[in-house]
Amino acid sequence: MSGAVSALFFLDVKGRVILHRDYRGDVSPKVAERFMNKLNELEEVSGIAPIICDEGITYIYTQVSNLYLLAVTRSNVNAATVVVFLHRLIGVFKHYFQNLEEESLRDNFVIAYELLDEVMDFGYPQFTEAAILSEYIKTDAHKMEVQVKPPMAVTNAVSWRKEGIKHKKNEVFLDAVESINLLVNSNGSVVSTEVSGVLKMRTFLSGMPECKLGLNDKVLFENQGRTQKQKTVELEDVKFHQCVRLARFENDRTISFIPPDGAFDLMSYRLSQNIKPLIAVDCKVEKPSRSRTEYLVKARSQFKERSCANNVEIMLPLPFDATAPTVKTTAGFSTYVPEKSALKWTLKSFPGGKEYVLRCHFSLPSVEAEDDNSRGKMPPIKVQFEIPYFTVSGIQVRYLKVIEKSGYQALPWVRYITQAGNYELRLAN
């Protein structure tokens, strides 16, 4: 972070200071009063925002329960970093006090000040991992023991994992989950597509293991001079969990890390590739009379037959004044959802290369005008689904190695899942 936080304040709903920690000595405690006045002004005029700048001081705050948590600075800080820090600090206090509110804060002043001294040093964020802090800051002050040697997680870069973890069975679960964001216009043409992916991990490993993950990364294969016999993926906007050694990845594209214990997201990525709709929905609207409308809906699965989509839900918009529709389907079942002015078509299983049909008709009793456009533009058809053992990008985990000094063998389990994100198909009015 380029700049530093000058001070942290805990304020009640009226702006009175409950707890205050000055880190740099360059702001007056009276800035808390100035903050509340400015907050009230902005709330009346233009609405509130999490960042307020006034007379050379930046106020960055968040509200939790009946408290304001406020960071003030005179420096040009990264505001997003400070916001993340405030939310992590809230998590730390909740870990210790169960609920973070005015009463719990007043009952635990000693512990609160100890935590504020550990999480920030001279205005720079330090340790915000509650599990690590709880190893040497105890909630029962009279039971505290002087710890000569702080835990390894504080003295090195592994702040996300504590020492001495033991599991009866050492296992690693890795899910490659890809979400498809897709928009199709009323003519059936794809307007925009995007694939966002995340590698979700759950690790149950003893000790301090080193993990190495290999993907069919296009850049890696090109650097190694491999022939393109195997399908590769070109990942964009890659973001890693803090446990990944970024220097190693930038040097040779190796994903090497000491994982946290339990569930976490190892990395996320994005692909802006053109893809056809995995589940295409065509809806023809017929109006035999002014008060009667019929839908002919065809849903096609446009992926290979060996794959199968599960829990498919197709939300078909209806006019707000439609009566309960009469429906016939060749597969699945339908449910009228009047509060959403929609018909939900549910297919528990949708194999690849299949087409199913739904027919429905309904009446429109409150015809207000001959012009159909008087009812306004209909919302899009929305689709939800999940396809296991399948990814759109073709990403593959080539290997997942676990190395630990005790030499135990860990069992890695890998799954691939594709699901619908913001998946919409516009309906012709």
Q: Enumerate residues 6+ apart whose C-beta is below 8 A from 26.
A: 6, 74
Question: What is the three-class DSSP state of 374?
Answer: helix
| Ranges assigned E (strand) in 17-170 | 17-22, 51-54, 57-64, 67-73, 120-121, 124-125
The neighbour count for residue 124, using CB atoms within 10 Å, is 14
- What is the structure's pLDDT at 249? 86
How many CA within 13 A on the CB side of residue 72?
27
> CB–CB of 69/8 below 8 Å?
yes
Judging by DSSP bridges, how do beta strands 236-240 and 292-301 pair with one another? unpaired
The structure's pTM equals 0.62
Q: Which domains does the chain have, with CATH numbers?
A: 7-155 (3.30.450.60), 171-275+392-425 (2.60.40.1170), 279-368+375-388 (2.60.40.1170)
> CB–CB of 257/235 below 8 Å?
no
Q: Enumerate residues 6+ apart whose C-beta is below 8 A from 145.
A: none
> CB–CB of 222/233 below 8 Å?
no
> CB–CB of 197/395 below 8 Å?
yes
Q: Minimal CA–CA distance to 256: which of 165, 151, 157?
A: 157
Which amino acid, one-letter code, is at 2? Answer: S
- What is the structure's pLDDT at 413? 94
Query: Hey, what are 220's tokens?
Result: 């890696």
Assign residue 47 a region: left if phi > 0, alpha if psi is -120 to 50, beta otherwise? left
Q: Minimal CA–CA distance to 264: which of 243, 291, 292, 279?
A: 243
- What is the structure's pLDDT at 167? 93
Judging by DSSP bridges, how do beta strands 411-425 and 171-184 pair with one another? parallel
Enumerate long-range contacts of 226-231, CB under 8 Å, 24 or more apart.
Answer: 231/394, 231/396
Name 246's bridge partners. Answer: none
- What is the structure's pLDDT at 269? 93
> For the CA atoms of 250, 228, 213, 251, what is the dihedral angle to 10 degrees?
-20
Dihedrals phi, psi of 405, to nearest 5 degrees: -60, -25
**Spans of the chain, pLDDT less than 50:** 141-149, 153, 155, 369-371, 374
Question: For residue 364, how far is the Cα from the chain centroid?
Answer: 41
Q: Enumerate residues 6+ apart whose C-beta is below 8 A from 365.
A: 291, 321, 323
Query: Hey, what are 231's tokens?
Result: 């399908």
> CB–CB of 336/324 below 8 Å?
yes
How many CA within 13 A on the CB side of residue 3?
17
Rg of the chain taking only CA atoms, in angstroms:
28
- What is the structure's pLDDT at 374? 46
- What is the structure's pLDDT at 182? 93
Q: Is 194 exposed, middle or buried (0-12, 13-18, 19+ CB in 10 A)?
A: middle
- What is the structure's pLDDT at 128? 80
Q: Minimal CA–CA distance to 7: which of 17, 65, 48?
A: 17
Q: Enumerate residues 6+ apart whose C-beta is below 8 A from 187.
A: 428
| Ranges assigned E (strand) in 216-370 | 236-240, 255-257, 262-271, 279-289, 292-301, 308-317, 326-329, 333-337, 342-351, 355-363
